[in-house]
Amino acid sequence: MYVTTTGGRILDANPAFLRMFGVGSRAELDEYTAEQLLVQPQRRLEERRALAGEGAVREFEFDIRRPDGEVRTVLDTAYQVVDERTGEIAYHGILIDITDRKELERQLFQAALRDPLTGCYNRRFLMERECELRRGRRSWGIVIADIDRFKDYNDLHGHETGDRVLVRVARFLTGEARPDDAVVRIGGDEFLVLLTGSAARSAETVARRLHATGRERVPVGLTYGWAVREHKEGLEDTIRRADKALFRKRALERRSLVRRRAKKGKRV
């Protein structure tokens, strides 16, 4: 619990409030105003406007920065009190620390965006990321990696071994990606690398690099397709074009293999 002036000077606070701010006494807080203890001081102005207009606020969320530098997230429920004698205004309120709850919410949200087997992002993440990219008017590039004959590999070695291969492929792609790139598992044996910013137009270069380095890093063959966003197309449209490029590349490789085998047979 606390009492402050409209200017943010802390007039009174109970022990729980002091612990929340990591201080031993109210005197230690006298050096600070409420605005100085906020990560985003404008939130205090927003709260003051709400208090002036409605006379009270309920569960107003903001982040505080303690004198030791630690950031905590709190909910503030406060009301405006006018001194009948002097006309001075003070704010009486209760802060509730929700930092742990916010961290749990963040972890749950992140878990919902991840593939449980490989730890890669999933299609839900792509939907969230596309919204961000569109708001920022940013482009993107897509590289799709598909494991060659993965069903045959599973049938031969078993699903447990197949799962380990999927994890190795995911680690390989993640290790080769930039910090700003995202590796997404979009199907059973299909992965996607989302390139943004300056790297968006280098999708082909990235795909060729992955193809060259992956030969010695993963125990299965990978075929790659790529595409760069055209005009204002949606992310799914870019993915479909990258998928088509992958299928064309795989078809060409198979025809080339058939021709080589045919020539070899003629020589024999």
Catalytic residue annotation: 189
Cα distances from 251 to residues 223, 245, 246, in angstroms, run 11, 10, 9
DSSP of 218-236, one letter per residue?
SSS-EEEEEEE--TT--HH
- The contacts of residue 30 (CB under 8 Å, 6+ apart) are 9, 10
Helix (H) or strand (E) holding 58: strand 56-65
Pairwise CA distance, residues 14 & 26, whole Å? 9
Check if the beta carbon of residue 169 is closer than 8 Å to that of residue 186.
no
Q: In this structure, are strands 222-228 and 190-196 parallel, antiparallel, or unpaired?
A: unpaired
Check if the beta carbon of residue 236 is closer than 8 Å to that of residue 244.
no
Beta bridge partners of 78: 57, 93
